[in-house]
Structure 1
Amino acid sequence: MSRCSGRVVSQPNHYLGLTETHVVIPNVGVEDLLSYTQTTGDVDKNQWVKVMDLEMEFMYFNSVWELVDLPEGEKPLGCKWIYKRNRDSAWKVQTFKARLVAKGYTQQEGVDYEETFSPIAMLKSIRILLSIAIFYDYEIWKMDVKIAFLNGNLEESIFMSQPEGIITQCKE
C-alpha cells in the first residue's frame, strides 16, 4: 500500500517571476582592444596614442626604467599593452586607459626573482574603517588614483623588450 499525499510540489511565492527576469546589456559594437595592432585600425586611434604616450611619460617621470642595449647572454621579458574603455551608465565612453605590463610568466623563482609581494586590503578592514568613520561622523571621500608606483630599488637587473609603437633611442 503506497502512501502518497497528492501534494503538488511547486516553487514558493517569493520565487515567482525571478526565473523570467533578464538583464539587458547594450551591445554598442565597440569592444576593448587586445593588442597594439588593433589600435592602428580603431576609430579611437588618436585617443589610444594619447593614453599610451601619457603612460610612457609617467614611467619616464618616475624613473621606472632606462633604455639600454641588451647585454650579451641576457633574455628580455616581453611586454604588452592592456587597453580599457571606461563607460558611464549610458554606456558612453568616459575615459580610455592603456597600461604597459611585463609578461612575467616566463620568469622562474630563484633564477629571475627571489620573492613576490602583493598588498591587498581585507574586506574586514574596510568595514571597520567605515564603521569608525560613521561612529565619529567623519566625512568619507572617494579618490581615483590615476597611476601608482611602489618605492623601492631592485637588486636585480630586469630587461624588458621595448613596447610596440614606442620608438626611443638608447642612451650612449
Structure 2
Amino acid sequence: MVTRSKARIFKPKALCADKVEVEPCSIEEALAHPDWRLAVQVEFDALLANSTWELRSLPPGRKAIGCKWLFKIKKNPDGTISCRKVQLVAKGCSQVPGYNFKETFSPVVKPATIRAILSIVVTKGWHLRQVDVNNAFLNGDLTDDVFMQQPPSYE
C-alpha cells in the first residue's frame, strides 16, 4: 500500500504572522471569550428547544453518564474563521461491555430531510459534496432510560 508520506506527498504548511486563535480546552476558557460563550449558548439553547432531556434526580441503583464540551474552529479556504462549533457529548468510555456495546449507528438526520435536500440539489443542478447541519440530534427511538450528568458550568 502506498501512503501519501511514502509517495512524498505532503500538505503545505500555511505560515502566517496573524494571531492564531486556539480552541478552548475547557468550558471555563470558552465562557471567558465572548464569541465562544455565544456558541456555547446557541448549542445549549438548541438542546433545550429540542427537549433533549428533562432534569430529574438519579434513581437509586442507576449510574449517570458523564458529558463534556467539544470545541472546534471551522475555517474558510482563505483561513478566516467561518464559525465556532460547540457540542455537548456523552462520554462513551462508560459503556458496559456486552450491553449495546457494539451498536454504533444512530440516525441523526431524518430521511425526509435528506430527500428534500437531494431533490433541491437535483432540480437546481448543483454539485453536492458535503452537507453541514447546525445541530444534529438522535432521530431514532430510545427504548432505555439514559441518565446523564448535568453539563459542566450549567448546573
Query: Do both share a fold (TM > 0.5)?
Result: yes
Using structure 1 for the length normalisation, give the TM-score: 0.62
CA distance in 2, matches of 1:95, 1:53: 14
Using structure 2 for the length normalisation, give the TM-score: 0.68
1:140 to 118, 122, 126: 126
Residue 57 of structure 1 aligns to a residue whose secondary structure is helix
* 1:110 and 2:98 are equivalent in the alignment: yes
Q: How does 1:9-158 map to 2 (within 5 A)?
A: 23-26=13-16, 28-41=19-32, 45-111=33-99, 113=100, 115-118=102-105, 139-140=125-126, 142=128, 143-158=131-146
Residue 50 of structure 1 aligns to a residue whose secondary structure is helix
CA distance in 1, matches of 2:84, 2:26: 15
Q: Mind listing any 5+ residue stretches in structure 2 that lack a counterpart?
A: 1-7, 108-121
Deviation at 1:81, TM superposition (A): 0.4
Q: Mind listing any 5+ residue stretches in structure 1 that lack a counterpart?
A: 1-17, 121-135, 168-172
Partner AA of 1:140 in structure 2: W
CA contact (8 A) 1:102 1:160 kept: yes
Deviation at 1:157, TM superposition (A): 1.2
- The number of equivalent residue pairs is 130
% identity of equivalent residues:
28
